[in-house]
Amino acid sequence: MTETDVLIVGGGLAGLSAARGLRGKKKYLLVEKEARIGGLASSVSRNGFTFDYSGHLLHLHWKETGDLILRLLKNNHFKLKRNAWIHLAGVEVPYPFQANLYGLPEKIKSECVSGFLAAYNNSHKPYALGHTQKSPEVFSRWTRRVFGEGISKYFMLPYNAKLWQYPLDRLTADWCAPFVPMPEPREVLEAAYARKKRAMGYNPVFYYPERDGIQALPDALAAGLKDIHTGCQLESLDIKNKTAFIRRLGAVKYKSLINTMPLKYFAGLIKSPPDGLRKLSARLRHNSVHVLNLGVKGTSSKKHWTYFPEREFLFYRAGIATNFSRNLAPKGRDSLYIETATDGGKLDHAAAEKNIFRGLVKGGIIKRESDIVEKLWLDIPCAYVIYDADRNKALPAILSLLKARGIRSIGRYGAWKYSFMEESVKEGLETARELLIAG
């Protein structure tokens, strides 16, 4: 039987970073079910195009991980200033909506401004997250309290309904703080009545690899790492005897385990699970995102991506990947990614395409359908984890049941949260450090 100190499940950024942190200090073995490493931060090559699982842009927030990521990429990166827009009522305004109301039709603008001011005056702490006894405030209430009726009606509610595919009066707002920009009244007013484009939010500047798509990052993280096994899926786990059963490797005995695969499904692989684990993990929910990547005859737009809150568009966002790097497509061609969400169910690709192509022409992303020269669907079955009262109750209990049995569950899906690439790298390194300290 194979033996190791640390078994790492998943070769995405969290798993690879954990392996990197342990390298040369502790015996580890990383198993990845796919034939390649990278997880969601992977890229697929097709006839001269390089497609990601939707836009994967590096916004860096911490010195250690930011420096590491840029050092690993060497000179293979561009630094870009976000150029993101919202398509609404036949016009486009810059992102974030709430801080860029200038170009909207007058009626919509005045509803948004007056609603915002009324909300601001009504709520003595508008930006704080309210809690009931049981759970954080729900999104539909939070957005009305913070942004008012107009901004909620035209953007926050329809856009988030499309993205999350979950009732907004059950979705809690505890994921919002880092991701939803919150301007002050002065900023909202200035940007509504004088054209003053505001760059707010978590990603006004970001990095992207010059070559090879986002796959360049996991490839650089993995360089020089041994004991990475692709095509090796964790199939079941005996946590009492600390033995994992891995496709193509067989039984692997471990002392500690770092999990980065989706927590809900990881829990389902445990034989004779601790009391309550199955029931708790059944309370975790997620949506699915279906990314239609397109190669097209050149577009003239310099935009990075556009949000589409209106229901007539099936997709919630459409991006032009070649505006991150021209190297993602052959000369004279552009590469687009179009994101549509479902509530965890499958999407009928053929039916969706008809609606999407019509929407892309109407939304001004392409001139005509015949400009499309390449097409690749990439589905993300577990894409955004749902924040609700069930998650709030179940998650801490699941993580502590696992930790008591030598299992640390980390990363976007292991820790079951809304997070970004750098955070997975950070958690992988920190978890490795914790295990080294524990001895």
Candidate ranges 31-39, 82-90, 109-117, 172-180; the one touching ligand FAD (CB under 6 A)? 31-39
One of 20, 33, 264, 286 touching ligand FAD (CB under 6 A): 33
Residues 6+ apart with CB under 8 A from 78: 207, 208, 209, 210, 324, 325
**Nearest alpha-carbon partner for 113 in 175, 200, 203, 194:** 194
Q: Does residue 32 bind ligand FAD (CB under 6 A)? A: yes
41 binds ligand FAD (CB under 6 A): yes
Q: How many CB atoms lie within 10 A of CB 268?
A: 15
Out of 43, 65, 100, 419, name the contact with ligand FAD by CB under 6 A: 419
Q: Which of 19, 21, 28, 39 binds ligand FAD (CB under 6 A)?
A: 39
State whether residue 58 is helix, strand or coil: strand
Q: Please, what's the largest Cα pairwise distance for the chain? A: 71
Instruction: Give CA–CA dist 50/213, Å, rounded.
Output: 6
Dist. CA 51–CA 380, nearest whole Å: 14
Say whether residue 289 binds ligand FAD (CB under 6 A): yes
Residue from 4, 7, 11, 401 that binds ligand FAD (CB under 6 A)? 11
**Minimum CB–partner distance for residue 414 and ligand FAD (Å):** 6
* Interhelix angle 421-438/63-73, nearest 10 degrees: 110
Choose the stretch contacting ligand FAD; rule: CB under 6 A; options: 97-105, 351-359, 392-400, 406-414. Answer: 406-414
Q: Which of 216, 261, 304, 202 is nearest to 7 (CA)?
A: 261
CA-angle at 110, arms to 107 and 116, nearest 5°: 140
Binding mask 42-71 for ligand FAD (x = CB under 6 A): ------------xxxx--------------
Residue type, 344: G
Closest CA to 15 of 432, 399, 382: 432
- Nearest residue (CB) to ligand FAD, 113 versus 410: 410
Cis peptide bond upstream of 96, omega within 30: yes
Q: How far apart are CA 346 and CA 380, in angstroms?
A: 10
Quick one: which of 5, 34, 227, 238 contacts ligand FAD (CB under 6 A)?
A: 34
Which amino acid appears at position 95 of this protein? Y
Main-chain dihedrals φ then ψ at residue 93, nearest 5 degrees:
-120, 150
Q: How many residues touch ligand FAD (CB under 6 A)?
A: 33
| Minimum gap (Å) between residue 371 Cβ and ligand FAD | 24
Among 7, 113, 168, 234, binds ligand FAD (CB under 6 A): 234
Residue 249 in contact with ligand FAD, rule: CB under 6 A: no
Among 8, 13, 21, 19, residue whose Cα is nearest residue 437? 21
By the rule CB under 6 A, 213 interacts with ligand FAD: no
- Nearby residues of 371 by Cβ (< 8 Å), 6 or more positions away: 296, 297
Selected from 9, 163, 267, 402, the binder of ligand FAD by CB under 6 A is 9
For position 115 contacting ligand FAD by CB under 6 A, the verdict is no
For ligand FAD, which is the closer residue by CB, 139 or 207? 207
Structure tokens, 344: 């965890």
Give the nearer residue to ligand FAD in terms of CB position, either 119 or 270: 270
Choices 35-43, 67-75, 219-227, 275-283; region in contact with ligand FAD by CB under 6 A: 35-43
By beta-carbon proximity to ligand FAD, the closer residue of 115 and 273 is 273
> Which residue, 6 or 119, has its beta carbon nearer to ligand FAD?
6
Between 313 and 420, CB nearer to ligand FAD? 420
Rule CB under 6 A: say whether 424 interacts with ligand FAD: yes
Q: Which is nearer to ligand FAD, 235 or 312 (CB)?
A: 235
Q: Could you tell me the smallest distance in angstroms from the CB atom of residue 36 to ligand FAD?
A: 9
8 binds ligand FAD (CB under 6 A): no
Interaction between residue 13 and ligand FAD (CB under 6 A): yes
Is residue 237 near ligand FAD by the rule CB under 6 A? no
* Lookup: tokens for 125: 């702490």
* Binding status of residue 12 toward ligand FAD by CB under 6 A: yes
Q: Do residues 206 and 58 make contact, with C-beta atoms less than 8 angstroms apart? A: yes
Contact mark string toward ligand FAD, 319..348, x via CB under 6 A: --------------------x---------
- Confirm or reject binding of residue 93 to ligand FAD (CB under 6 A): no
For 75-230, where are the alpha helices, taking DSSP H only?
Answer: 106-122, 139-151, 157-164, 176-179, 185-193, 216-222
Q: Which residues bind ligand FAD (CB under 6 A)?
A: 9-15, 31-34, 39-41, 54-57, 233-234, 260-261, 289, 339, 380, 383, 411-413, 419-421, 424
